[in-house]
Amino acid sequence: MKKILSAILAGAMLCTSAMMFSACGNKTESTADSKTESSAAEAKELHMATNAAFEPYEYKEGGEVVGIDAEIAKAVCDKLGCKLVIDDMDFDAIITAVTSGKADFGMAGMTVTDERKQSVDFTDSYTNAVQVIIVNEDDGKVAGKADLEGKTIGVQLGTTGDLYVSDDVKDAQVERFNKGADAVLALTQGKVDAVVIDNQPAKAFVAQNPGTKILEEDFANEEYAICLAKGSELTEKFNTALKELKDDGTIDTVIKKYIKD
């Protein structure tokens, strides 16, 4: 009798902790209390706001959003027992989508900044990056950061590249584009003198635009993280999942799949 009782107790405890960990429906529950929940069957969806024009973090391949962020997000959602739904939008719409509750989280090679922290919470960082400068190979106008002064500089609207150039580069004429690719296109057309953008997408853009190159001098170091609504109970769950995915090597494997150097 004792044994049976403790087995039931242990079972109940297991269920509760499984339910506590899972932010989303738990399909395997069978206690009386959770019957209604389990018959809801379908896993809850978690909407990720992103801007899928940022290879290798998020970009489209045959209509599907792929990349480092898409895969890490999928792994996090799997751990939470949720179904990942990716919503593609302009980069500068992501934070509003999250604060308004239209999206559950934002993940877009997004840099943690103090300013953004005033409107959203960030998870622990899952990787880092640097801002670099792209120029036309042989026009010699910009050879380093100092040469940006007074130049026309292309950036993606609302990104940290936009922020740095607008705040820190004296007399810069900042041209803001919805997509990084459009900023690089403007560079190849001679409409801007340089583009400031994250290093990995920069590599992809340069590979697609012969005649452009990345300058050796970096602009700034950054940490990427996932953003969630302020006070969201998901943040801690995301952090736990991210830690597990870091510890078991999943994040490393995903990054190495897309970044080969």
Residue ranges binding ligand ARG (CB under 6 A)? 50-51, 53-54, 58, 91, 108-111, 156, 159-160, 198, 222
DSSP 186-255: HHHTTSSSEEEEEHHHHHHHHHHSTTEEE-SS--EEEEE--EEETT-THHHHHHHHHHHHHHTTHHHHHH
Nearest approach, Cβ of residue 218 and ligand ARG (Å)? 13
User: Residue 17 or 128: which CB sits closer to ligand ARG?
Assistant: 128
Helices 250-258 and 68-80, axial angle in degrees (round to 10)? 160
By C-beta, is 24 or 89 nearer to ligand ARG? 89
Residue 57 CB, nearest approach to ligand ARG (Å): 6
User: Which of 228, 184, 227, 189 has the alpha carbon at shortest distance from 206?
Assistant: 184
Instruction: Give the shortest CB-9-to-ligand ARG separation in angstroms.
Output: 48
Residue 7 or 85: the one with the smaller Cβ distance to ligand ARG is: 85
> In the complex, what is the shortest distance from the CB of residue 113 to ligand ARG, in angstroms, rounded to a whole number?
7
Q: Name the minimum Å distance from CB 220 to ligand ARG.
A: 10
* Site of tokens 């989303």: 24
Residue with tokens 């590249």: 161
The alpha carbon of 207 is separated from its chain's Cα centroid by a whole number of angstroms, namely: 22
In whole angstroms, how close is the CB of 92 to ligand ARG at the nearest point? 9
Q: Which of residues 58 and 175 has its CB atom nearest to ligand ARG in the complex? A: 58
CB nearer to ligand ARG: give 15 or 89.
89
Choose between 60 and 191: whose C-beta lies nearer to ligand ARG.
Answer: 60
The residue (of 23 and 94) whose beta carbon lies closer to ligand ARG is: 94
Closest CB 64 distance from ligand ARG, rounded Å: 16
